[in-house]
A and B are shown apart, each in its own frame.
Chain A
Amino acid sequence: MITVTVNGQRHDIDADPNMPLLWAIRDILGLTGTKYGCGAAQCGACTVHLNGESIRSCCTKLSRAAGQQIITIEGLSANNNHPLQLAWNEMNVPQCGYCQSGQLMSAAVLLRENPNPTDQDIDDAMSGNICRCGTYQRIRAAIHRAADLAREGAKS
């Protein structure tokens, strides 16, 4: 039995400790916002936060999450109102949308570490996340917009 806290809720998971965290999150906990894209830490669709840091859950063993705090897209905000989600919605970023959970989770760490990222900072932080629909230009613009929204929110 492996105990993991996901989005603030404790779960005791009875599974192979070598099972990638991705499949535990999706198939056992039923949180399907986190996506399978490549299984090789290449595309970022499976990005979640482990103790606040971005990890690729497709290549992270369930055992590594034991006793740790995991946040998935379902836990990024209470009501789809993280500044990034607001910016994504405002700027119509997604197309098919499959990669966007991972994009948002990667961007959330970037924005926390760097509240005013440059284009170069965004490229550096986001190049691990593939979007096959090609929404990169909008993701870049939406991260800048989210940074503005976060600053406005902090002032008010």
Chain B
Amino acid sequence: MSDISRRHFIKTTGTAGVALWLGISAKGSTRKVTDVATAKNFNPLILVESNGNITIYNTKPEMGQGTFQSMPAMIAEEFEVSLDQITIKNTNGEKEFGDRQRAGGSSSIRTTYNDMRKIGAAAKAVFISAAAKHWQVDESTCYAENSKVIHKPSNKSLTYGELVEEASKIELPKEPKLKDPKDFKILGKVSKRPDIPLKTSGKAVFGIDVILPDMLYASVERCPVLGGTLKSFDASEALKMPGVEMVVETERIVGKYHFTGVAVVANSYWNALEGRKKLKIQWDTAGHETFNSNEYENNLRKLASQEGVIDKNTGAIDTVKTSPQNTVEAFYETPMIAHHTMEPMNCIAHVQGDKAEVWTSTQVPSSIVGGGSNDVPKLAGFAPENVKLHSMFIGGGFGRRLYPDYVIEALNVAKQVSKPVKVIWSREDTTTQGPFRPMTFSQLSGTFSDDGKLVAFKHKVISPSYQESVRKDFDKTKVDGTMVEGIGEQDYEIPNIKTSYVRADYHVPVAAWRSVTSSTLAFAHECFIDELAVKAGKDPLDFRMELLSQPSDTKRIFQKLRELSGWDEPLPKNKGRGVAQWKFFAGQCAQAVEVSYDPALKTVKIDKVTAVIDLGEVVNPDNVKNQTEGAVVMALTAAIKPGITFKDGKVVESNFYDNPVLRMNEMPVVNVHVLAEGGKIKGVGEPGLPPFAPALANAIFAATGKRIRKMPFDLKIS
């Protein structure tokens, strides 16, 4: 093992006197060093300085999901420091903080919960040992609280700061004792997020808010026909506009796609925008100018007749006897949609010689300093050690900021400009240029045995491929696992199940969007389960429970949902309830939606949403509720608001007036219940989305008898 602690002190720049770093190796071993700069295979997470300052580092960018509090909270709990005693610092992709500085896949807590607690516990153990040694007492007579070690019999105490020097001489325990959860002071309690006061006073600095001396601004004209390339441009009129300093070509790279653009660089963003209007550009649209969404969707419907590639085939589905009497078939459709982060894409880049400095809001700091599938230094032509990142608060990620195309584009502009340059995408740029969540179409069938049991279930997905969009070397003969995400993970006990995938060619870059493909597949899958319940003549929740004879998370979650949603209370005429759940990589949530139908107005109103999210362990319950409330809002927007469409190769929608999102007056009442009963640790950010649209559509069926098989759908019932 390489866990050798350093016993010498080196004063680290910027720290006060003696400083001790405590952290963890990539393999999960706890470690401590006093010179972080020369430590190998070491991710420092705690810095204790002899003046008493304690800093905890957050490696997961804050985009509203709460990592700025939840990541330090896991360490602080075990380290026995309160959150108001520490300084929290976001990391900036620095190599010493490891290559997992990214936020996505609802993974921040579920993948670090044990490691973070372990480093906190090991750190506490070292300070207790140091104090015991100092006082020459038995360690068992000492305990830690509020960043101090206290000798119980005498009540004397020493602060962690006072103990730094002694503590640095003591080995960290490899397997420190973790607290009994019943003694938790922070985890599982409602605790304040320290970023909130910054966000209510206008002081939080998002990427777009950074202002540097001598900074210039840029706005980029990109080919309105996605896939087109730059032929030539005439900047003479643009250059005559006030404040315009330069017009330069640039390139962004998103997945396998390279897109060119023309950047107008000016002394203010407004002048850059005004200058951009005067550009004369010739684009080569490369045949994409005939692309229309309607035709593409027709193509997807035609492709449904193909066998496709099998993802999963359990049992012997081809031997199950089917007849029109015992089989239900249905076809579901979903749209392409945009992320619509409130903070539009933007990035400041400053290139000096072969060195680059970047200020931006990103979900992937580690990619921006090099490594992984979106290796920015490599794609933009820099040595990784020459790229320095400043990772700022993120004004909405939702998956869009996993793709650093806007950073590459800004670097390519900045290479041609001597000063720092802030490239800001307009809302229209952000809406029309992608990448987008792809649409998925689903062909489903379910077959019952003579005695009424569901014996066969087929789900075929027809869609463009995510992996093909992001990777040049994607093998088209294989299933794109991303596009059948979650289908094979459901707990329903059905003896014969077949999942297959038909890939459709596409030239539009696609992206992960909050809850990825589960955001569309759950709609098809869980609405279809409802159709099967109707065929079986059973209550939709009873029908599901009958498919869950064995103990499972799904069964447990449904039992709680049944109780909390008042599922068994009778409803008057024109009211209906729908239920759905979804289990996938990020976690699991089940929801019940209650709606009222007004036959005179022919409209449906959402009366109540009850959500049960299953986590195993919970860090900040109130924040989980906030996340799940927000997930419902985002899912409702995706269910009832228009998606992104193409006409003549161009995205038709451009801003919130023609691509609206949910507003305050459309907000339903959402009640969230957090299940933290131990077991597998699951994610928070995404699981609230997938079950909502099917639960709503199922509720609409219950209230009106109208089966909805296509998103987006209208709450006005025709």
Which residues of chain A have a CB within 8 Å of any CB of chain B?
Answer: 15-16, 19-20, 23, 26-28, 30-40, 42-43, 45, 72-74, 80, 85, 88-89, 92-101, 104, 122-124, 126-140
Contacts and interface: CB of A to CB of B under 8 A. Distances in A.
A143 to B, nearest CB: 10
A24 to B, nearest CB: 8
Contact of B211 (A32, A38, A98): A32
Interface string B191-208: 011011111111111101
Contact of B270 (A16, A31, A98, A99): A16
19 contacts: A32-B202, A35-B208, A36-B208, A38-B655, A40-B655, A73-B201, A80-B197, A80-B200, A88-B200, A89-B196, A92-B196, A97-B200, A98-B396, A100-B199, A127-B663, A130-B656, A132-B342, A133-B396, A133-B633
A38 B396 contact: no
Contact of A34 (B202, B664, B665): B202
A101 to B, nearest CB: 5
Contacts of B66: 95
Contacts of B211: 27, 30, 32
Contacts of B623: 92
Contacts of A95: 64-66, 626-627, 630
B629 A96 contact: no
Nearest to A138: B626
Contact of A134 (B202, B424, B630, B657): B630
B205 to A, nearest CB: 7
B269 A42 contact: no
Contacts of B626: 92, 95, 135, 138
A84 B661 CA distance: 25
A37 B427 contact: yes
Nearest to B243: A16
Contacts of A23: 268-270
A154 B476 CA distance: 69
Contacts of B396: 96, 98, 132-133
B343 A35 contact: yes
Contacts of B201: 33, 73-74, 80, 85
B132 interface: no
B35 interface: no
B463 interface: no
Nearest to B344: A36
Contacts of B202: 31-34, 72-74, 101
Given A42-B655, A43-B656, A94 B427 contact: no
A124 to B, nearest CB: 7
A76 B482 CA distance: 46
B222 interface: no
A130 B630 CA distance: 12
A139 B629 CA distance: 12
A126 to B, nearest CB: 4
B670 A97 contact: no
Nearest to A82: B200
A140 B667 contact: yes
A23 B428 CA distance: 17
B553 interface: no
A66 to B, nearest CB: 17
A132 B337 CA distance: 14
Interface in B376-422: 393-398
Given A36-B208, A92-B193, A98-B395, A123 B665 contact: yes
A80 B200 CA distance: 7
Nearest to A22: B270
Given A43-B656, A124-B665, A35 B395 contact: yes
Nearest to A26: B209
Contacts of A85: 200-201
B634 interface: yes
Given A80-B200, A89-B197, A97-B395, A130 B270 contact: no
A122 B200 contact: no
Contacts of A99: 342
Interface in B173-197: 192-193, 195-197
A133 B64 contact: yes
A97 B199 contact: yes
B342 A135 contact: no
B340 to A, nearest CB: 6
A133 B630 contact: yes
Most buried by A among B202, B396, B632, B655: B202
Nearest to B671: A137
A64 B343 CA distance: 26
B622 interface: yes
B271 interface: yes
Interface in B630-676: 630-634, 655-657, 661-665, 667, 669-670
Contacts of B629: 134-135, 137-138
Contact of A32 (B195, B205, B427, B667): B205
A137 B622 CA distance: 13
A140 B665 CA distance: 10
A130 B270 CA distance: 23
Contacts of B634: 132, 134
A104 to B, nearest CB: 6
A97 B268 contact: no
A40 B660 CA distance: 13
